[in-house]
Amino acid sequence: MKRSKKERQQLLKETIEDMPFITDEELANKFGVSIQTIRLDRVGLSIPELRARIKSVATHQWNETVKALPIDEVIGEIVDLELDKRAISILDIQIEHVFSRNKIARGHHLFAQANSLAVAVIDDQLALTARADIKFTRQVNLGERVVAKAKVLETEKKGRTTVMVESFVDNEKVFFGTFEMFRSNEPKGDITL
């Protein structure tokens, strides 16, 4: 269905307000127009590109919440966080993340995203990785978006917290790991999931 520019821009604005992390490509598919048309519409509406939207949300929303490390030391952009429960981050794989020969992401970037998310979810001033059991399940390529999801599984009395992190490209799991995190303080309240 062909929409007028005004209708499309209004729907575009509403869509981005509801889903601030939607890509220009996804918007182009949704509205049946070119990516360039979406970019021009965004500029006309003073809506920043995806990367700037993610950074803005992450900086304003999580800067005061993340305790164990500065927000700018988290690999990827945090888009959801509930301390000692769960967290989600997004990492867009760019040229600096891949091997030059084959454009496959270097594993340490996926590990760093997962590990820093496991640190960020801890409700403590100090959280360190004591142990990690990880597995890569498929290669990640240049241009793909990795969504890492952390979930606190258990907190022991010995100042240890177990965090599971799963990373996905679209709905396909590309990485998972269990991180045993050392924390300096006892958790605030009971952890039950």
Domain(s) labelled CATH 1.10.10.10 in the chain stretch across 5-47
Does 188 have pLDDT greater than 60?
A: no
Tell me the per-residue pLDDT of 165-175, one tens digit each, with 9 for 90 and over. Answer: 999 999 899 99
Q: Is the dihedral of CA 174, 177, 183, 185 positive or negative?
A: positive
Domain(s) labelled CATH 3.10.129.10 in the chain stretch across 63-183
Q: Which fold has domain 5-47?
A: Arc Repressor Mutant, subunit A (1.10.10)
- pTM to 2 decimals? 0.65
Name the average pLDDT for the chain.
Answer: 84
Q: Which fold has domain 63-183?
A: Thiol Ester Dehydrase; Chain A (3.10.129)
Tell me the per-residue pLDDT of 77-110, one tens digit each, with 9 for 90 and over. Answer: 888 888 889 989 999 999 999 999 999 999 999 9
* Residue 84 backbone zone (phi > 0: left; psi -120 to 50: alpha; other: beta): left
